[in-house]
Copies of this chain bind each other. A is one copy, B any other.
Amino acid sequence: MMINISKAVQLLKENDYFIILSHQNPDGDTLGGAFALFFALRKLGKKVKFECENSIPKKYEFLTDALINDAFDDGYVVAVDVADEKLLGDGLRKKYAGKVCLAVDHHLSHREFSDFTLVENKAAACEIVLSIIEKLGVEIDKQIADCLYVGIATDTGCFRYTNTTENTHLCAAKLIGLGAESGRINTAIFETKTKTYAALERLALSGLEMHFDGRCALMCVTEKMFKESGSDETECDGISALPRQIEGVLVGVTVREKAENEYKISVRTNEPVDACEICAKLGGGGHVRASGCTVKGTLDEVKKIVLDTVKESL
């Protein structure tokens, strides 16, 4: 059942034990939103646990100092920034399939899987979580402000992507006013490349392929490149932005090896191409300028499947 913010706030007020879930391969928005909600509910005297399929990437660890789960069994399960039950990951799905009470999400491609669903068309789930926390009547402290700022900055490429709105900047201004250390956060998340990531980027870019008269750029990130560079998928947040950056490119594709014969595809587009339409055809989804899906097969098979699908949109 689709609900609005007031109803979500009422549900959060009515319950006392919460299990908050992020999506697998967590990014700054799912973590920032989940952590902000965690700290806000605890400020209301509620008991809270956080769970995620994967470990938290190193660059977000500074948000987790006070993230200590309370001890209890059953609770009201809330998923933040999870567009589809599948995206909880296999482990959490086994545990929580059919048991999620409330989903808070900003993906228009959201597939309902919870009792109550709050979806708003915002750049980041954290914009919605900020409204929720304000309506809950919780005073937003530096810790919560940092979490929400991380989410908003992450999902907008630090206010660079076309999803950024007037509201996104108003949220950022508010959070900075409440103490969010935006400068330090941006430096850590956007302005710092680890030596291993810098090496991975060079390897991946050296194999960049151009297709369809330069309208599509495709880059592969393989296990071999991870080994050679010392990098891993937790460092890959930013890499999918690169192919789209080249002049004239409408569709930037990153093909990342996930397991044997299984590849994670990231699609980033420029106007007028719809990334979500491309990924939906391959069983995924996301946003109009940034979407993802998983495709099985050998690398060559996967590339052909993806390029054939991209071609239909050009």
Interface residues of A (CB under 8 A from B): 157-167, 169-170, 172-174, 176-177, 182-184, 186-187, 190-195, 198, 241, 244-247, 270
- Of B170, B186, B270, the residue contacting A169 (CB under 8 A) is B170
Considering only CB atoms, which chain B residue lies closest to A198 in the complex? B246
Besides A159-B160, A169-B169, A195-B247, 6 other A-B contacts (C-beta < 8 A): A160-B190, A162-B184, A166-B176, A187-B270, A191-B245, A194-B247
Question: With A191-B244, A192-B245, A246-B198 known to touch, is A166 a contact of B173 (CB < 8 Å)?
Answer: yes
Whether the pair A183, B162 counts as a contact (CB closer than 8 A) is yes
A169 to chain B minimum Cβ distance, whole angstroms, is 4
Considering only CB atoms, which chain B residue lies closest to A270 in the complex? B187
Q: Which of A159, A192, A244, A247 has the most CB of B within 10 A?
A: A159
Question: With A176-B169, A195-B247, A198-B246 known to touch, is A160 a contact of B158 (CB < 8 Å)?
Answer: yes
Task: Tell me the complex Cα distance, A247–B176, Å.
Answer: 25
Whether the pair B173, A245 counts as a contact (CB closer than 8 A) is no
Can you give 9 contacting A-B residue pairs, CB < 8 Å? A159-B160, A162-B184, A163-B183, A166-B174, A166-B176, A170-B170, A192-B247, A194-B247, A198-B246
Whether the pair A160, B177 counts as a contact (CB closer than 8 A) is no
A215 to chain B minimum Cβ distance, whole angstroms, is 14
Question: With A246-B195, A247-B193, A247-B194 known to touch, is A187 a contact of B162 (CB < 8 Å)?
Answer: yes
Chain B residue contacts of A170, Cβ below 8 A: 169-170, 173
Whether the pair B173, A161 counts as a contact (CB closer than 8 A) is no
Closest CB pairs A-B (n = 4): A162-B183, A169-B173, A159-B159, A169-B172
Chain B residue contacts of A194, Cβ below 8 A: 247
Task: Tell me the complex Cα distance, A186–B192, Å.
Answer: 20
Considering only CB atoms, which chain B residue lies closest to A205 in the complex? B202
Whether the pair B161, A183 counts as a contact (CB closer than 8 A) is yes
- Of B182, B192, B241, B245, the residue contacting A164 (CB under 8 A) is B182
A188 to chain B minimum Cβ distance, whole angstroms, is 10
Chain B residue contacts of A190, Cβ below 8 A: 160
Task: Tell me the complex Cα distance, A200–B158, Å.
Answer: 25
Considering only CB atoms, which chain B residue lies closest to A196 in the complex? B247
Chain B residue contacts of A172, Cβ below 8 A: 159, 169
Task: Tell me the complex Cα distance, A194–B52, Å.
Answer: 40
Whether the pair A193, B246 counts as a contact (CB closer than 8 A) is yes
Task: Tell me the complex Cα distance, A170–B169, Å.
Answer: 7
Task: Tell me the complex Cα distance, A300–B14, Å.
Answer: 70
Task: Tell me the complex Cα distance, A278–B262, Å.
Answer: 51
Whether the pair A164, B183 counts as a contact (CB closer than 8 A) is yes
Task: Tell me the complex Cα distance, A169–B159, Å.
Answer: 10
